[in-house]
Amino acid sequence: MPVAIPNSVDTWVKALADVRLPVPTHSHDRVSAYLNDSSRSLREIAECMQQSPALVLNVIREANAHANSALIEPAESLEVAITRMGLQRTGELLKRLPAMPSAEIPQALRQLQLVSQHASQLANGLFAARLARLWQEVHWGALLFLAPLWPIALTQPGLIEDWELRVVRRGEPAVNVERALFGVPLLDICQALAERWRLPLWVLQGYRSLGAERRSLARVMLIARDFGDPLRQQQRLDAEPALRRFANQPAISILLANGLALAAQQGWATHHALRWEYLIALYTQMPLGDVQQQVHQESVHSARQVAQPDLWHPATALIWPWHERRPLQPAPPPSAEALVQWRRNCTDLLAEPSPFNNAMHLATTARDALVACGMQRVLLLMPDKSQTVLLVQQLAGLPKPAAQLSFALDQGAVLKRLAQEPGQIRVTPANSGQFSHLIPASLRVLFRGEHLLLRSLASHGRVAMLVVADQGGGPLSDITVQAFGKTAQCIEKALAAFSNRNK
């Protein structure tokens, strides 16, 4: 369940440091069986665990949390972490972790973990053989580099989805988006969490490269763009020994893999993806074409291993035209079972005389009908006696504290207009700029995204309810939009029948 949004690095770390990430039930059961099987080696147990990135993080940070930081280096691999904890404590930790079916784990979390698994495959394929004695640092560092984002995706999935949409896919300036969403740069939160958890040193070095050493990284990127003349590249690096050492450090490999895996979420021919491929070509001393060919091969291998039907894997786009980018897909239409429930709810709403005991009872059925027709986030508002404030009657898919919100009609022109007479406003990317500043900020925070429906419903010539709904912020399914309109008509008739019953 989402919680209040922190707005400083300290409050973010306090909120996220001890979050226990859920483990898919099938992984939880399989690892438990391995731990209880005396014939299994430590390597086999670790390989079984790594199928669940959340489990890897939970074990490594638990092992590092109980180590004396002054005497013991952080565990750089899962095998070292299990050895330090022992099989018994590892099993006890596993029992404390929440296990649930994959479908019940927030999609934003599973999508981020898939990116991390893709990055790990890229790192293994591109760098593990070249850094043979450091392959464990390559493997585990690449998998855990984005781990500080995972608890955010669990507790605030909407923020991560918004960040990915605006920064990765639309190319908006990260600093502006992150200040608006998180209150502070996301990099600062990630680095603070990585330090708190004592993640592998290469992870910390990667965040330093993006932060304190950003100028050096930018200069190396400029050199990498000159990929047509390898000799000139080497001469420019040789002229600056400090820059050459920075560009050739082994730890930078996991940053390159994660940067490319994240950029590939948008498309393979974007300038973000090409920038990381230039850097990889410079680091490996390979022609750019060879790098791209190997990257694509490793991506396909990754998809075979970790792809999930409801998640996006960049390997899907390899068969598309080269400059094609990942499209925004409409939300899925409601299932046949959901539509059966929707019809039942609508039948109740249309019944006469009204079967509802009070306004809350009516609003509950209205909410259920809207959810059944495919809406993922729903807010039902009704005016108070003064007709100047809208109060929350029912909600779905939103944090519980939202039930205590109220919206003065003078806070936003959109609410005021809808409260004066029945009508509907559909917010889309084409008009979101026109409407976003006219909607109260506290309402925009609840419904992040550029696809939203707002509709006011009247009873006896006066607006009696305002419905706000969306499908997670993404494009709306046509079937759901049609069902939303029919549902609104049913609710309006229910309001009239309820009002007549009380006369």
Reported as a single tens digit per residue, the pLDDT across 40-93 is: 998 899 999 999 999 999 999 999 887 655 557 888 889 999 999 999 999 999
Higher pLDDT, 47 or 328: 47
pLDDT at residue number 322: 80
Q: How confident is the model at residue 1 (pLDDT cuts 50, 70, 90)?
A: very low
Q: What is the pTM of this model?
A: 0.74
Q: Within 10 Å of residue 96's Cβ, how many Cβ atoms?
A: 9
The CATH homologous superfamily of the domain defined by 336-501:
GAF domain (3.30.450.40)
| Mode of pairing for the β-strands spanning 462-470 and 452-459 | antiparallel
Rounded CA gap, 439 and 414, in Å?
Answer: 6
What are the φ and ψ backbone dihedral angles of 23, each rounded to 5 degrees?
-115, 135
How do the domains of the chain map onto residue ranges? 23-104, 106-319, 336-501
Q: Are 218 and 272 in contact (CB under 8 A)?
A: no
Here the tokens at position 372 are 């059944």
Residue 75, classed as helix, strand or coil, is coil
Q: Provide CB contacts within 8 A for 299, sequence distance 6+.
A: 118, 121, 122, 264, 313, 314, 315, 318
Helix (H) or strand (E) holding 392: strand 389-396
> What digits encode the pLDDT tens for the residues 463-494?
999 999 999 888 888 899 999 999 999 999 99
Residues 417-465: tens digit of each pLDDT = 999 999 999 998 888 878 878 888 888 888 877 899 999 999 888 999 9
Tell which residue, 145, 121, 143, 265, has the closest CA to residue 194: 145
pLDDT tens across 118-141, in order?
999 999 999 999 999 999 999 999
Q: How far is CA 281 from CA 23, 72, 183, 251, 268, in A?
A: 36, 36, 36, 16, 15
Copy the structure tokens of residue 257: 């893999």
pLDDT tens-digit series, residues 140-172:
999 999 999 999 999 988 788 778 877 877 677
Tell me how far apart the alpha carbons of residues 472 and 24 are, in angstroms, rounded to a whole number. Answer: 23
Contact between residue 59 and residue 49 where contact means Cβ atoms under 8 Å apart: yes
Query: For the segment 166-215, what is each residue's pLDDT rounded down to a tens digit?
Result: 787 767 788 888 988 899 999 999 999 999 999 999 999 999 999 999 99
User: What is residue 134's DSSP assignment?
Assistant: G
Give the CATH class of 106-319.
Answer: mainly alpha
Arithmetic mean of pLDDT over the chain? 90
pLDDT at 70: 55
Overall average pLDDT of the 243-254 stretch: 94
Banded pLDDT at 503 (limits 50, 70, 90): low
Tens-digit pLDDT profile for residues 382-397: 999 888 899 999 999 8
